[in-house]
Structure 1
C-alpha cells in the first residue's frame, strides 16, 4: 500500500482505545513495551530529576490519548494543558481523568514510574496528581493561526510531545512549520521534550494503515536548531519489538530549550 493511500491521524481519526491497547497496554502480546513505555519513562525521570525543568504551565501535544509521560511531569508543574486533534481522543482521555467506568487502565505505567523513581509506595498519589494537574483538555488544529481558537493559551514553561508531529506531518516542510508554531507557545528559555519514532512510514490501528512522517535523527536535530532551540540531551534506542503493525527503526528522545 502506497503511503499516499494511508489514512491521516488528524484528518480521518482512529480508534483511540485500540491505539492504547496495541501500543501502550500491559497485555502479553503488547510487544512495544520497551520502546513506548520504558524508554520514555526512564528518560523523563532522569531529565526531570535534574531539577531545571519546572514551572507553572506544561502543554502536552501527544498522539492518541496517552498520558503515561505525564506521571513524571506532574511533580514539577502546577497546570498541565493537554491538546488533542480529535474529539474521540479527548473523550477517551476525559474518561480516565474523570475516573469513569471503562476507562483505560494506566496502572502499569504508574507503577513503572514509581519503580524508576523508587517511590512504589506513592502509586495512587501519582495518579491523583496527574488528574489534578491535567484539568484542561483542548482541541487543537495546527493549520489554524491560533491552533486552539477561540481559546488563547498562556505561554508555557515546557512542552512535551509524544509522536504528535510524526503522525500529523506529511513532509519536512510540515514538520518545520508545526515545530515553529509549537515554539510560539513557549516562554523564552522554555523547554521542549520530544519523543518520536525514526524511519517510520506507517502504523496500524484495527484494520487501517495510517501515514507516518519518515525522518532520521539528523533531520530532527537540524529542525530543532533551525526553530531556535538548543539541544540539551538526545537519546536514540534501536527497535526491539518484532511486529508488522508499524515499521519504525528506532525511538528518539530529545530535551531542548528555546533560546532567549
Structure 2
C-alpha cells in the first residue's frame, strides 16, 4: 500500500490491536505514552473528581477500543454505553470485559491510574472490575445515519466522552459539525460533552498505514462547539512532548462543554 495514501477510518478497517500496542503499550517511548495515557488519565479524573460533572449515565464515542479515560471516570457514573464504528473495536472491548487472555493488557495503565489517585496500587484489579460492571452496552454505530445506533435505541445520557473520534470520522469541517450535532442528540440538555483531541493534525499511523485526521485548530473547535448549542466551561491546551512521525499534531486539547440548547 502506498504509504502516502491516507485511509479513512472506519471505511478502511484498522488493526485495533496494533493501534493499542503502538499508542498505549507501556513500552512505548515515555513522552508518547505520557501524551496518550498519563495526560488523559489526569484530565478526565481531575474534572470528574472536582464535582463539575454529575449524572448517572455516560456514552463514549472514541477511536478504537480505548478505555484509558473510562478507567478515570467509571467511579463517578453508574452506566457506560460505548459506541464503536467497527466490529474489531467491539470484539476487542468484549474480550477485555470477559477477561479473555487474548485481550489487550491494560494492567500497567490501571496501576498508573491508582498512583494518580494516590491509592493503593494493588487496587488496580478492583478498578478494572468496576469498569467491567458498568460497561452496560457496547454498540455498533454509523454516523452517516440519522440515528447512529439504529435499530438500537439509547436514552440520552448525562455525559458524552469523545477521544479522537470526530477528527477521524469527519472528512471535512461541515461533516464534523453534522456529526457533532448527532452526538449532541445523544446528550441531555444540561449534560456535558468532553473531548480529548489533537490540534492541527492531519494523519496518524497504524503500522505502515496512514490514516486521515481532519485538521482543526483551537478557533475551529471553539466556534463549532458553541454554535452547536454548547457553552465551553473548560478548554485546556497540552503542549506536545512526543517527537514522532506517527502523528503530526501541534498539541492536544481537552475540552469540557455543557449543552445549553437544542440545535
TM-score (norm 2): 0.95
Does residue 1:123 correspond to 2:124, yes or no?
Answer: yes
Matched, 1:204 2:205: yes
Alignment correspondent of 1:11 = 11
Distance in 1 between residues matched to 2:106 and 2:154, nearest whole Å:
28
Please state whether the residue corresponding to 1:74 is helix, strand or coil.
helix
Cα deviations by residue, 1:178-211 (Å, 9 ceiling, x for unpaired): 1111001111100010000111111111121111
**Partner residue, 1:259:** 260
SS of corresponding position for 2:252: strand
SS at match of 1:12: coil
Kept in 2: contact 1:6–1:211 (CA 8 A): yes
Structure 2: give runs of 5+ residues left out of the alignment.
none
After TM superposition, the structure 1 = structure 2 runs for residues 68-107 of structure 1, keeping only pairs within 5 Å, are 68-107=68-107
* 1:235 CA drift (Å): 0.8
- Equivalent residues, number: 259
Contact kept in structure 2, 1:204 and 1:245, CA below 8 Å: yes
Aligned-residue offset at 1:133: 0.4
Look up the match of 1:49.
49
State the partner residue of 1:179: 180
- Matched-pair contact (CA < 8 Å) for 2:74–2:134: yes
1:32-64 superposed Cα distances (whole Å, 9 cap, x missing partner): 112111111111111011113132210000001
Question: 1:162-193 deviations in whole A, cap 9, x for unaligned?
Answer: 00012111111011111111001111100010
Moved more, 103-112 or 135-144: 103-112
Rounded to whole Å, the distance in 1 between the matches of 2:236 and 2:112 is 19
1:2 deviation in Å?
9.7
* Contact persistence 2:203–2:212 (CA under 8 A): yes
Q: Is the 8 A contact 1:190 1:258 kept in 2?
A: yes
Measured in 1, the distance between the counterparts of 2:25 and 2:102 equals: 14
Paired with 1:119 and 1:131, the residues of 2 have a C-alpha distance of 20
Determine if contact 1:110/1:126 at 8 Å carries over to the other structure.
yes
Matched, 1:250 2:240: no
Alignment TM-score, normalising by the size of structure 1: 0.96
